[in-house]
A and B are shown apart, each in its own frame.
Chain A
Amino acid sequence: MSTRLFLVSLHIAAILVGIYGGFQIFDAVTR
């Protein structure tokens, strides 16, 4: 169970990083 939670946490972290990266890329391209 702890392994599964760890992997789910990694996925959630990846989503957050993706959202942050999306904002950064959009700002960099449209600036």
Chain B
Amino acid sequence: MLRWAGSIVGVGGVALCITIVSQGMRSVEKIGGTCASGNTPFTIAHPCPAGVPGLLTGGIFAGLFFLALFVICVGERGRSTVLLAWSALFLALGWNFLDFGLHPTTGGTSVGFLVCAVIFILMGGVPLLYTIPQCIKALLGQDDSTSTPTAQPFSSTSVQFNSPTGWGATNTPPALTPTVWPVVTPAPATASRSASTAAASVTAAGGDVAGALEKLASLHARGELSDTEYEEAKRKTLQNPRST
């Protein structure tokens, strides 16, 4: 309940801050697009409208605070909606650029504002192509977290023991030293792999009997080799240490 309250307050606060920033930007664009404030040794040509510098600064930081509150409270499923804040901000500011680019206070059109309008609208609009389907999925309860897991680094799962060429030295990538093998997570097919293959592979990868025995012991300790398989592999390693 508290999390929902936090996410509602967060999303409302983000909307409030984006509105304040957008309105502050419009007030600056009304006086030509630039302004300055504060104690300076120079004469300020375009003083900022009263309160706008504080509102813009405060709006940005308060918006980040409310966005963080929303991210913390919304949970995993609704997290894809966070990108909407990005689109909302840039589309709002892009609209301001477009509005004042077509109707500047000085008359005519302002090419600089129009260029900014195109950039901002693209920056805000393109992510919507990704965000909107994600939001629809979140609304319908189709959670991405139950789908295909993300790819793992090479040293963890991409080495498959049941690959056509097996686990031999000829299939060993250069980056994988023998000390990496104990941390490799085996594929399910490993269980059916014979102990003799394990012994041959470990010996071939390591090149010395002691190292091979250590690796077999490590595999056995992690439960990837049964007692029988471990004993058989150890025996074969000791009998034929240079087998491939």
Contact = CB atoms under 8 A, between A and B. Distances in A.
Interface string A1-12: 100100110110
A5 to B, nearest CB: 8
A9 to B, nearest CB: 10
B108 interface: no
Contacts of B15: 14-19, 22
Interface in B213-241: none
A1 B14 CA distance: 26
B141 A4 contact: yes
Contact of A10 (B8, B49, B52, B139): B8
A21 B16 contact: yes
Interface stretch (B19-27, B147-155, B193-201): B19-27
Chain B contact residues: helix, strand, loop or mixed: helix
Interface size class of A (residues with CB under 8 A): 10 to 19
Contacts, number: 62
B93 interface: no
Contacts of B54: 29
Nearest to B19: A22
B23 A22 contact: yes
Interface in B177-204: none
A29 B9 CA distance: 22
A16 to B, nearest CB: 8
Nearest to A23: B19
Contacts of A15: 11-12, 15
A30 B50 contact: yes
Contacts of A17: 12, 15
Interface in B32-82: 49-52, 54-55
A4 B136 CA distance: 12
Contact of B17 (A4, A10, A11, A22): A22
Interface of B: 4, 7-9, 11-20, 22-24, 27, 49-52, 54-55, 139, 141
Interface of A: 1, 4, 7-8, 10-11, 14-19, 21-23, 25-26, 29-30
Closest 4 CB pairs of A and B: A22-B19, A18-B15, A14-B12, A18-B16
Given A22-B15, A22-B18, A25-B55, 16 more contacts: A4-B141, A10-B8, A11-B7, A14-B11, A16-B15, A17-B15, A18-B11, A18-B14, A19-B15, A25-B16, A26-B20, A26-B24, A26-B55, A29-B51, A29-B54, A30-B52
